[in-house]
Structure 1
């Protein structure tokens, strides 16, 4: 399949969890389309960056930062808090498979005993999960820190 088809498929399957998460937290109906567009954009952009060789952790940071800037624009345009758009949009990028592999490895360590290969799997997937989650949170916070940093705290 060519890259455009893969991006369209990725975007199609990424908007569903973004809108589902937004609906769980009672995002206004008119704003659900922005959550869908944000989720599709974020996941597809990360897929595109990874396709060109960027590691998943750095691609996640770049994507969540760009989603943070887009969410900041949307929040100013519609007078709605930024997390309404941004948090729902990055939900499809949560590293579930890496976290699941980490937990399964820990359970196997507990039941089957120590092995070097199992420790390597647990540490590698656990660190990857932590770095991706850190990239998501830092990337979403970065635009606000950069733009609002001159404002007084009190």
Structure 2
């Protein structure tokens, strides 16, 4: 149990750094950087918790990004700041860089060494996993707005 708690805290600690860095890169107001840090730490550490209990990474990412979408919607109404200020920076730590990297390395190996079934399997598995995680992130952030604003006119 203490390993789980330590992993949760470590994950939360290292997840706020890219969230705040991304927010600073896109000129988020300094007062809102705290919320980006909280969102980044919350989303990544909750996904860590769901993964620990055996949930697939795609579904865990979707659930956590949907949760962040609702939290971001609340914060945007409370502080009168556009919702993507909080939500996009908060889900940046969950971008599947290692899976995309493995897919690209596999493609380069196919280009260099020739086609093998194992290399193609690696490329397809990591490429599809990257695609599904990115889809889960984008749909997860969009679901709260769709559910809450669906009866309102566009203009």
TM-score of the two chains, using structure 1 as the length reference: 0.99
Query: Following TM superposition, by how much is the alpha carbon of 1:5 offset from its aligned partner in structure 2, in angstroms?
Result: 1.1
Q: Deviations over 1:62-88 (max 9, x none)?
A: 000000000000000000000000000
Pairing 1:118–2:119 present: yes
In the aligned structure 1, how far is the partner of 2:99 from the partner of 2:3? 27
Stretches (4+) displaced over 3 A: none
Corresponding residue pairs, total: 154
Query: Following TM superposition, by how much is the alpha carbon of 1:2 offset from its aligned partner in structure 2, in angstroms?
Result: 1.9
Map residues 66-105 of structure 1 onto 2, 5 A cutoff. Answer: 66-105=67-106
Query: Following TM superposition, by how much is the alpha carbon of 1:106 offset from its aligned partner in structure 2, in angstroms?
Result: 0.5
Query: Following TM superposition, by how much is the alpha carbon of 1:4 offset from its aligned partner in structure 2, in angstroms?
Result: 1.1
Unpaired segments ≥5 residues, structure 2: none
In the aligned structure 2, how far is the partner of 1:123 from the partner of 1:99? 10
Correspondence for 1:24: 25
- CA root-mean-square deviation: 0.6
Correspondence for 1:53: 54
Q: Deviations over 1:100-134 (max 9, x none)?
A: 00011001111110100000000000000000000
Unpaired segments ≥5 residues, structure 1: none
Query: Following TM superposition, by how much is the alpha carbon of 1:153 offset from its aligned partner in structure 2, in angstroms?
Result: 2.1
Query: Following TM superposition, by how much is the alpha carbon of 1:152 offset from its aligned partner in structure 2, in angstroms?
Result: 1.3
18-27 or 1-10, which deviates more: 1-10
